[in-house]
């Protein structure tokens, strides 16, 4: 029994990959809405997949608003990876008041 406790204690604890005020706001809302999903630990690729799925179900008007508010091209130019673009999309969702619906979507949407 002691060995099991020591083995569990030695296991690495997953840590949050993304950061920033926009991601923290998303993570806090997700922690309240669906703590079992542990969306605070989501990877940039998985967050991108969730954002794309959410955007697919938006109305054309909401898509235009979100696209107009999204500053990823200006803020993420010359940076590799998905961390910056996905966080910029979260910022745009906050600006367009789509973050709460996105959290609801991410909580109920299951990855394949």
pLDDT computed for residue 1 by the predictor: 55
* Count of all residues that appear for the chain in the document: 112
**Sign of the Cα pseudo-torsion (90, 94, 97, 99, in order):** positive
Q: Which residues in the chain land under pLDDT 70? A: 1-15, 111-112
pLDDT computed for residue 14 by the predictor: 60
Burial of 58 (0-12, 13-18, 19+ CB in 10 A): middle
pLDDT computed for residue 78 by the predictor: 82
Cα separation, 103 vs 109, whole angstroms: 10
The model carries a pTM of: 0.82
Number of alpha helices (DSSP H) and beta strands (DSSP E) in the chain: 7, 0
Q: Report yes or no: 101 and 66 within 8 Å, Cβ to Cβ.
A: no
Using the 8-state DSSP alphabet, how is residue 11 labeled?
S
């Amino acid at each position: 029994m002691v060995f099991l406790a020591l083995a569990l204690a030695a296991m690495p604890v997953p840590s949050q990959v993304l950061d920033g005020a926009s991601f923290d706001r998303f993570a806090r809302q997700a922690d309240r809405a669906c703590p079992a999903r542990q969306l605070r630990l989501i990877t940039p690729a998985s967050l991108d997949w969730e954002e794309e799925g959410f955007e697919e179900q938006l109305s054309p008007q909401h898509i235009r608003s979100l696209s107009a508010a999204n500053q990823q091209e200006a803020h993420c130019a010359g940076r590799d990876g998905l961390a910056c673009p996905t966080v910029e999309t979260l910022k745009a969702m906050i600006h367009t008041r789509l973050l709460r619906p996105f959290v609801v979507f991410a909580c109920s949407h299951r990855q394949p």
